[in-house]
Chain A
Amino acid sequence: MSQSNAEHLTEQVKVTTKLKALITRLGADATSLHADRQDTANGRVSLMHQILFEIEETILPRQLTLHFDQTIVATFRVSHRRLLSLDFAVDADQAKQPQRSEHRSAAQIYAQRLLHLSAMHQDAGFRITRQICETGIETESCSVAQLVDSLKMQQQESRLKGLLTKVSANVDAWILQAEGDDQHSCHGPAALTRQLTELANIDQTAKQKRGQALKMPEKAPSYLVLSMSGETNVILAWDRSETLLIALPTQHLTSFNTAWHSFFSSL
């Protein structure tokens, strides 16, 4: 069998399998459909997975609208299994969303916007509605495969390391630790980094003991401000599986806050 025939057959099998799954789903009773919706509301269905699935399933031009509970948060235009546009619904968020630049592909920009949406989505249930739409002259579209590649690349990068490069000039000491990793990188006076390491260990131990109760917000980055003395604060910043601990003079707290918001809202 030639390679093109084999590819064609594989494609046909994929389509048949999808059709069978759809027919089975339509034939199922209403309780299982309700359970699907319940799973979505309970956050068991991954938002990212669902969005990628919707793009992959869309041939004719459609506008997809993403809702968190009752609020519209983003609209996507999709056609021929390609993402044509992704815009946040709230005006304020438009300013935060990553903009097109000379050096970045459409897939990279949309992947960043998807990650931002994923970070925004916390406890709320989500749903996606579809409407017929028209397409214009699209020059910045990308496929699901391109999106997945960009998402993988961006998720592999350590964002806290990126943040650290922006704030390191103003800090006294820092340590960067990955969950379940005994090794960590650090900088600063030994006494201070030792305290930060002990604090990181207390944090990790508590999280292992208490599990989900302390993983809040689960997906979004966050940071905690503690007081070391009248002049020094300690920051514990979490993102994905990493923790960054920083000791910094109190006078630089405001600039850290500004840098953190600017860094994470630009992703």
Chain B
Amino acid sequence: MDITGRLNSLRETTPGCALVAFGDLSTQLVLRSSAAVQVRQEFLDQLCAQAEHGFCLQDALAGWNTPRGEGSAEVIVVTPQETRIYIRRPGAAQDTACDAILCVCDTESSARTLISPAMTLLHDLSEGA
């Protein structure tokens, strides 16, 4: 299955998930996305910028508090209407360290169920699967 198919599958099998996207945090570009309704490119770009900003804060916090300064795999943003979760692989090789899955869900619990399958997807993508 190609990456768009994997994103579609991830979104469709997660109740309450409205959008799943694959982005590159270094360039802040969304490379592929799957959404229940069409979304504007500006919204996707902003999701990527917000994810990069969240991980930047997360890394600063980890640098002060963990022995190896290794940041967490996910950052969550909650708004009155939705919960966004941004997922990355902290131990990834340098060329895929900026890959991230960006998701928009209705609740935090729904968003958290995406962490494990999104990590698997990132792993598969880094392996070229």
Q: Which residues of A contact B (CB under 8 A)?
A: 119-120, 123, 195, 198-199, 202-203, 206, 210, 213-214, 216-217, 220-229, 234, 236, 257, 260-261, 264-265
Tell me the bound Cα distance from A203 to B58 in angstroms: 11
In the complex, residue of chain B having the shortest beta-carbon distance to the beta carbon of A227: B72
Tell me the bound Cα distance from A254 to B49 in angstroms: 26
Tell me the bound Cα distance from A210 to B56 in angstroms: 13
Selected from A198, A225, A264, the residue in CB contact (under 8 A) with B76 is A225
Q: Which residues of B contact A213 (CB under 8 A)?
A: 28, 45-46, 49
Q: Which residues of B contact A198 (CB under 8 A)?
A: 60, 64
> B129 CB to closest chain A CB, in angstroms?
28
Tell me the bound Cα distance from A234 to B54 in angstroms: 12
* Interface 9-residue window, one of B12-20, B78-86, B118-126: B78-86
CB atoms of A202 and B50 under 8 A apart: no
Tell me the bound Cα distance from A36 to B43 in angstroms: 23
**Number of B residues with CB within 8 Å of any CB on chain A:** 29
Sample 6 A-B pairs with CB under 8 A, ordered by A number.
A198-B60, A216-B46, A220-B79, A222-B77, A227-B72, A229-B65
Number of A-B contacts (CB under 8 A): 78
Tell me the bound Cα distance from A120 to B71 in angstroms: 32
CB atoms of B40 and A123 under 8 A apart: yes
Given A123-B40, A226-B72, A234-B61, A210:B79 Cβ within 8 A:
no
B108 contacts the other chain (Cβ, under 8 Å)? yes
CB atoms of A221 and B57 under 8 A apart: no
CB atoms of B49 and A228 under 8 A apart: no
Q: Which residues of A contact B65 (CB under 8 A)?
A: 195, 228-229
Q: Which residues of B contact A223 (CB under 8 A)?
A: 77-78
Tell me the bound Cα distance from A214 to B77 in angstroms: 12
Q: Which residues of A contact B6 (CB under 8 A)?
A: none
Tell me the bound Cα distance from A225 to B80 in angstroms: 15
Tell me the bound Cα distance from A203 to B57 in angstroms: 7
In the complex, residue of chain B having the shortest beta-carbon distance to the beta carbon of A256: B78
